[in-house]
Amino acid sequence: MIIVTGANGFIGSVMVWELNQKGLTDIIAVDSVGLSERNLLRKQKITKFLLKDDLWPFLETEEAKKQVTWIIHMGACSSTTETNKEFLWENNTYYTQRIFEWCAEHGKSMIYASSAATYGAGELGFDDTTDPEKLRPLNLYGESKVLFDRWAVKQTKTPPHWYGLKFFNVFGPNEYHKGAMSSVAFKAYNQIKDTGALGLFKSADPNYKDGEFMRDFVYVKDVTGWMAELMEKKPKNGVYNMGFGKPRTWLDLAGGVFKAMGTDMKINWLEMPENIRGQYQYFTEAKTDKWLAAGMSPAKWPLEKAVADYIQNYLSKDDKDL
């Protein structure tokens, strides 16, 4: 039995799909959003769905203590603009600590979502071997994630296998509900479909030309494939980057979207809002040496191939869900 939290969200729902692809269907899906409000699991096989607060009573049952093998904890508030510190700490830090402690107590393994937001502006690079005490995130969301990373590495009683995953710019099917937090690929597709053009922020940093800020874009199918691989290979415990390992520009991404849509590229340049200038990442690049040295697989979905799959097999269809 595998518990997946955030299972009615983006990466969590795709992880349920990934497990199903491998013949694993004894899944307890957990989310704060009920299936009557949004159902990203309608095509997947699960054993049971629980609302977020019902996870704790379930974990006290003999069924959970005996049958659960892994908890894949993707549930969180993932808004990088959230300003309620107590809400973030409760949802992202303390909730994860409780799961970690339960797994340690009962000998269960755990994967949890950290974030590339923990790296801040990248002044120390984007290296998953960096001491989390040294990292300075640019926003409260990143702070809530690095707080847990710092706590986890200090624990002497741990789950037998535990992995914190620093997701970079993940995009792909089932992200449609995320609004402002959805990927540029998703927003670009809809903008181009509606207007024939794409709006991108001008650079507010003289070191970068317009459209040439660089991000490590990674397809959700790579991410869930890696999580399944962690469950199989069980490398050394700790925090790992989840990125392609090579940054690409916004213009590269835009070009991929226009090409997949079969239309000519047209960009409208917009002024970057004052409220995000101080916390904007101009460059991210997942250092993947630790991951590859552990015998894990490199990314399988280059940007252009991933964007084409996303647009042609999901976004352009009436039924967009995985």
Q: Which of 178, 287, 290, 320 is catalytic?
A: 178
Instruction: Name the fold adopted by 2-171+217-246+285-301.
Output: Rossmann fold (3.40.50)
In terms of DSSP bridges, do strands 162-167 and 238-242 run parallel, antiparallel, or are they unpaired?
parallel
Find out whether 153 is annotated in a ligand binding site: no
d(CA 167, CA 165): 6
Mean pLDDT (whole number) for 296-309: 98
Q: Verify whether residue 141 is a known catalytic residue.
A: yes
* Domain boundaries defined on the chain: 2-171+217-246+285-301
Find out whether 76 is annotated in a ligand binding site: yes
Is residue 279's pLDDT more than 80? no
pLDDT at 106: 99
Q: Position 240: which residue type? A: Y
Find out whether 32 is annotated in a ligand binding site: yes
Q: What is the DSSP string of 126-171?
A: S-TTS-GGG---SSHHHHHHHHHHHHHHH-SS--SSEEEEEE-EEE
Find out whether 91 is annotated in a ligand binding site: yes
pLDDT at 278: 73
d(CA 110, CA 114): 12
pLDDT at 78: 83
In terms of DSSP bridges, do strands 214-215 and 248-249 run parallel, antiparallel, or are they unpaired?
antiparallel
pLDDT at 163: 98
pLDDT at 276: 80
Residue with tokens 């830090």: 93
Mean pLDDT (whole number) for 12-23: 99
Run of H or E including 227: helix 220-233
Q: Verify whether residue 134 is a known catalytic residue.
A: no
pLDDT at 55: 98
Is residue 281's pLDDT more than 80? no
Mean pLDDT (whole number) for 86-103: 94
**pLDDT tens-digit series, residues 95-143:** 999 999 999 999 999 999 999 999 998 999 999 999 999 999 989 999 9
Task: Dig out the tokens for 230 from the structure.
Answer: 């962690």
Is residue 280's pLDDT more than 80? no
Residue with tokens 């960096």: 130
Is there a contact between 170 and 242 (Cβ–Cβ < 8 Å)?
A: yes
Is residue 209's pLDDT more than 80? yes
pLDDT at 81: 81
Find out whether 139 is annotated in a ligand binding site: no
Q: Which of 95, 112, 119, 141 is catalytic?
A: 141
